[in-house]
Amino acid sequence: MKINEIYQTKRAQKNPVISLEIFPPKKDGGIETLYEALASLGQISPDFVSVTYGAGGSGGVNETLDIAAYIKQEYGLESLHHLTGVLSNHETMNATLQAIQARGVENILALRGDVPADGDACISADYPLAKNLISDIHAFGGFSVGAACYPEGHIEALSNAENMQHMQAKEAAGADFFISQLFFDNASFYKLMDDARGARVNAPISAGIMPILNRSQVERMIFMCGASLPSKLIKLIHKYEHNPADLRAAGLDYAMGQIDDLITQGVDGVHIYTMNRPVVAQTLLGKYKKQYI
């Protein structure tokens, strides 16, 4: 089933789409641990599970495709295959799309992707922006295509107007839905929604939620994504920074508050960045299982 059809069904029911995100493990042998985690996630039965190219963009299409296909075949859940164009060209991308389609995966999250940190590679001339990749996938056919959006603006975007222009271009190129980057202040997401609808971007937009589990995670996310921290969350981190168990509990509770508010306000969907930890999904989505999933 294509994810755009899931959004259509849930919109008609006036229910949010509930989805999870996982990533291929970096360490050798970690794949077995991931599959164990998937068994727990499968019991929650989210509307779909997205699979990244790996933490920080590492990994590759083969590993991502294996996991995405496994999720669909083993658990009957729809999977969303992340795909970046940054190091690809039209020829290699066509071959990749054929491979994804052959494995029965019907949904792709199209991203420009990050240039490797070693600087040895240049951004693809064919895919300088996500909209170029979205257009090619849409032309290839057979996929529901998702795109990323940024409640506080992409870290490279200079203005909110530019942020909206990118969303407009992605939808015009064929994006069926959007998943937002993580944020910690729901006001940022509501502003994004208002701005997007004002800019005539009508595709569903899911809110991306990542709970704070430790201090180093916070520092990494702020640096990578440019996400800001509300004073309430800063005080929680400071209060529990020397007590990991209490910080994790407080972080999960804060994220639960975000989700409660988002669902109350009638958002199109909530997308949980699980960090491959079943406890995150079980804690945050357990209460909604019977009502929305």
Which are the catalytic amino acids? Answer: 21
CA distance 52 to 35: 15
Q: 269: which strand partners?
A: 17, 206
19 bridge partner residues: 48, 271
Tokens 């259509």 belong to: 8
Q: Smallest Cα–Cα separation from 79: which of 53, 57, 104, 61?
A: 104
Residue type present at position 277: R
Please state, in angstroms and rounded to a whole number, the distance separating the CA atoms of residues 49 and 42.
9
Structure tokens that stand for 288 in this block: 């909604």
Distance in angstroms (rounded) separating the CA atoms of residues 152 and 162: 12
d(CA 207, CA 194): 13
Distances (CA, A) of 276 to 23, 36, 161: 7, 10, 34
User: 55 phi and psi, to 5 degrees?
Assistant: -60, 130
